[in-house]
Amino acid sequence: MSDQKNLTRLLQLFALAGLALLFLVPVIGSRALVQDLFGVLTLFILAQNWNLLAGFAGMVSVGQQAFVGVGAYAMFACVILLGLDPVIGIAVGGITAMILAIPMAFFSFRLAGAYFAIGTWVAAEITRLCFAQWKALGGGTGTSLPKGTTKTMFGVPEIKSWLGGSSSAASDALTYWLALILALATLIAAWLFLKSRMGLGLQSLRDNEEAACSVGVNPTRLKAWVFMLTAFGTGLCGALLFIQITRVTPEAAFSVVDWTAFVIFITVIGGIGTLPGPIIGVIVFYFLQRLLADYGTVYLIVLGCLGIAVMLFARRGLWGLFTEKTGLELLSLRQLPPEENQAH
């Protein structure tokens, strides 16, 4: 037992060291690496949010691209129409996504189980088609951030004078750090939430809805909270993503493949319903993409097959297999009895 504890400690130390290293990447790494890791981090944020929604709250949404798109468009509106700083636009993006989640929940919560998936997908399509009508932001063809916006945004000049190099590299570093902070915040918030009274209620609902209701858990209210909070996280991430991309079109911002399909596979392969799952999933996804980069869409086929295989043979994904084999846990959600009781 103490052996296992030591190993767990070791694993935690590794995780911390890895985190410290991640923070240093813009200082010591190349710009290409910063951009690559930015993509990985944002996918992780999206995946963790979806994991909370589907893995813990049992709401399999195929409409998360709605929140990415709305976050992106809200940020663009702040910058282009109101002349605000893109970093403020990120916060506005998150809040707008959360506001959109209210009518969307009102509609899609009427659909039980699998039909919820279709309901959210349709809602996302409706949002996409509506934003394609917004002529001030380019309508169906989209628009770009005004030239130089990202070079002068909040913090970039300071980072530039500190790191040296070009303004574009500094803006990449800024978006990277923001993504890293957001990823970390998502992970911690998810852990705290799941450890809280509400999180406990959520997991009890997943395990046995009737029993949970009988001890006073209110399923609709809990699920609505999770739906709105994950919409907020997804919207923030969407706005951040499109600061880096600097160009928005309805197709790209509301892409079901980029912002939902990838995210679903990442979570499923890594381990749905576990907190470290999306981390593992995003690492696998990144290497798969690098490995198969020259073969066009083959990596999507491989990803799909992997997802199917995981669902057939190992429902808790790679992380589930790992904990099963080794007994090691990270970010465990297990509730241990209080210390005094153990002493008796």
Query: Smallest gap, in angstroms, from Cβ of residue 21 to another protein?
Result: 33
Give, as one character, the DSSP assignment of residue 54: I
The token pair at 327 is 């007994």
Q: Which residues pair with 129 in a beta bridge?
A: none
Return the number of the residue (20 or 114) whose C-beta is nearest another protein: 114
Return the number of the residue (90 or 226) whose C-beta is nearest another protein: 226
Give the footprint of another protein on this chain (CB under 8 A).
54, 58, 60, 62, 107, 110-111, 113-115, 117-119, 121-123, 125-126, 129-130, 132-133, 140, 256-257, 261, 264-265, 268, 272, 296-298, 300-301, 303-305, 307-308, 311-312, 315
Return the number of the residue (184 or 261) whose C-beta is nearest another protein: 261
Return the number of the residue (46 or 87) whose C-beta is nearest another protein: 46
Query: Smallest gap, in angstroms, from Cβ of residue 248 to another protein?
Result: 18
Query: Smallest gap, in angstroms, from Cβ of residue 208 to another protein?
Result: 12
Return the number of the residue (125 or 329) whose C-beta is nearest another protein: 125
3-state DSSP call for residue 335? Answer: coil
Distance CA 20, CA 109 (A): 41
Query: Smallest gap, in angstroms, from Cβ of residue 106 to another protein?
Result: 9
* 174 contacts 156 by C-beta, under 8 angstroms: yes
Distance CA 44, CA 155 (A): 24
Distance CA 52, CA 58 (A): 8
Per DSSP, the residues of 9-47 read: HHHHHHHHHHHHHHHHHHHHS-HHHHHHHHHHHHHHHHH
3-state DSSP call for residue 248? Answer: strand
Return the number of the residue (132 or 156) whose C-beta is nearest another protein: 132
Query: Smallest gap, in angstroms, from Cβ of residue 126 to another protein?
Result: 5
Query: Smallest gap, in angstroms, from Cβ of residue 19 to another protein?
Result: 30
C-alpha distances (whole Å) from 297 to each of 209, 225, 288, 289 are: 41, 37, 12, 10
